[in-house]
């Protein structure tokens, strides 16, 4: 890491006249990069070979670094490197909070599209009886970072397909947030009989099924939190969904990287056109 500035919950460290620094001697260091996995193995009787029976990430990502006054942003301080109580108070109010995780990203060219969901603890660094900086310990909600989330929108009529490439470093699947804007229902049925069935080629045993849809209804599927909502007031919404939230996959088969998810809006009775927006943040395995 060579950045001197970062952004946290929409504010920059430089807004407080501070910069990233180190308080110990320079040298080599070993960093976690979101790839610390614990493997569970077993050995068959009479065999010397281990077989993998499971694996998991051992812990979420953490990092420790310092912050101090940026001389170029504090010309009136001269050679006085210490932090005032008011500045310490403002920094700790911003960084050390109990209201959950917030987006953190380094303001460094190759990190600008990467973020962590982070929370902080801090300790004051004392020199000659005064505070010369803060040591920050960053705690995150996962073992890895994320690419900035994107909204990808497709306009579909029944029978149409679209392709979405999973950019994640982690194999497996992610649940995106999916927003569906329903088009006109078939003229041969009532205004609330529209149906949407969405299927992913990488997840062919599952189908996302929504029924009793109305003209211009907006359905939101929050796959991560397993929630469904509508812009219309509906008492039957829970019974109009099969609770198969769309998933985005990538995997490796025989050394081949497979990332292509082909979603199809199936052409069935009472199927309706729609606009579908996928929003997801690909997993990135990197450290500070």
Please report, for the domain that includes residue 103, its CATH number.
2.40.30
Statement: residue 49 has pLDDT above 60: no
Both 142 and 245 in one domain: the answer is: no
Both 177 and 275 in one domain: the answer is: yes
Helix ranges (DSSP H) in the chain: 85-95
Q: How confident is the model at residue 77 (pLDDT cuts 50, 70, 90)?
A: low
Statement: residue 92 has pLDDT above 60: yes
In a domain, 43, yes or no: no
Count of CB atoms situated within 10 Å of the CB of 75: 7
In a domain, 261, yes or no: yes
Residue 87's H or E segment, with its range, is: helix 85-95
Reduce the DSSP state of residue 203 to 3 states and report it. helix
d(CA 271, CA 159): 9
Both 137 and 244 in one domain: the answer is: no
Statement: residue 31 has pLDDT above 50: no
Both 138 and 159 in one domain: the answer is: no
Both 163 and 270 in one domain: the answer is: yes
d(CA 54, CA 36): 14
Last residue of a domain, one of 114, 146, 178: 146
pLDDT confidence of residue 33: 39
Task: Name the residue with higher pLDDT: 140 or 193.
Answer: 140
Last residue of a domain, one of 146, 170, 194: 146
Summarize pLDDT for 120-157 with one digit per residue, the tens: 988 888 887 888 888 899 999 888 899 999 899 999 99
* Mean pLDDT score, 45-67: 66
In a domain, 266, yes or no: yes
Q: What is the DSSP letter of 271?
A: B
Both 124 and 210 in one domain: the answer is: no
Residues forming beta bridges with residue 258, ordered by sequence position? 251
Both 124 and 164 in one domain: the answer is: no
pLDDT confidence of residue 264: 97
User: Which residues form the domain of 88?
Assistant: 6-32+58-146
Q: What's the mean pLDDT when you consider all of the chain?
A: 85
Both 187 and 66 in one domain: the answer is: no
Percent of the chain whose predicted confidence (pLDDT) is above 70: 83
The total of structural domains in the chain comes to 2
In a domain, 20, yes or no: yes
Last residue of a domain, one of 95, 128, 146: 146
pLDDT confidence of residue 80: 66
Please report, for the domain that includes residue 266, its CATH number.
2.60.120
In a domain, 38, yes or no: no
pLDDT confidence of residue 190: 55
In a domain, 39, yes or no: no
Both 110 and 232 in one domain: the answer is: no
Statement: residue 45 has pLDDT above 90: no
Summarize pLDDT for 206-258 with one digit per residue, the tens: 999 999 999 899 999 999 999 999 999 988 999 999 999 999 999 999 999 99
Both 119 and 197 in one domain: the answer is: no
Both 142 and 165 in one domain: the answer is: no
**For residue 187, what are the CA distances in angstroms to 91, 184, 192, 247?**
61, 8, 11, 32
Statement: residue 101 has pLDDT above 50: yes
* Mean pLDDT score, 22-47: 49
Both 113 and 181 in one domain: the answer is: no
Q: How confident is the model at residue 182 (pLDDT cuts 50, 70, 90)?
A: very high
In a domain, 223, yes or no: yes
In a domain, 52, yes or no: no
d(CA 35, CA 285): 6
């Amino acid at each position: 890491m060579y950045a001197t500035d970062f952004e946290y919950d929409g504010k920059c460290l430089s807004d407080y006249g501070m910069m990233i620094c180190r308080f110990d001697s320079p040298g080599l260091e070993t960093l976690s990069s979101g790839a610390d996995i614990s493997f569970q193995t077993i050995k068959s009787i009479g065999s010397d070979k281990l077989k993998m029976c499971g694996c998991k990430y051992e812990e979420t990502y953490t990092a420790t670094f310092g912050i101090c006054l940026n001389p170029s942003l504090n010309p009136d301080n001269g050679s006085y490197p210490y932090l005032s109580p008011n500045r310490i108070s403002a920094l700790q109010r911003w960084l050390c909070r109990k209201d959950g995780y917030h987006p953190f990203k380094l303001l460094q060219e190759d990190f600008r599209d990467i973020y962590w969901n982070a929370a902080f603890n801090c300790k004051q660094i004392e020199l000659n009886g005064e505070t010369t900086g803060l040591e920050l310990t960053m705690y995150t909600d996962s073992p890895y970072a994320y690419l900035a989330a994107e909204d990808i929108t497709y306009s579909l009529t029944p029978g149409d397909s679209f392709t979405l490439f999973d950019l994640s470093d982690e194999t497996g699947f992610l649940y995106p947030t999916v927003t569906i804007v329903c088009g006109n229902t078939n003229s041969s049925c009532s205004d609330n009989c529209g149906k949407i069935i969405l299927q992913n080629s990488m997840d062919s045993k599952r189908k996302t099924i929504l029924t009793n849809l109305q003209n211009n209804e907006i359905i939101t599927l929050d796959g991560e939190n397993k929630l469904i909502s509508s812009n219309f007031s509906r008492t039957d919404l829970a019974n109009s969904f099969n609770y198969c939230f769309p998933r985005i996959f990538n995997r490796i088969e025989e050394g081949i990287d497979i990332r292509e998810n082909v979603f199809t809006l199936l052409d069935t009775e009472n199927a309706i056109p729609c606009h579908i927006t996928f929003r997801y943040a690909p997993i990135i395995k990197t450290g500070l």
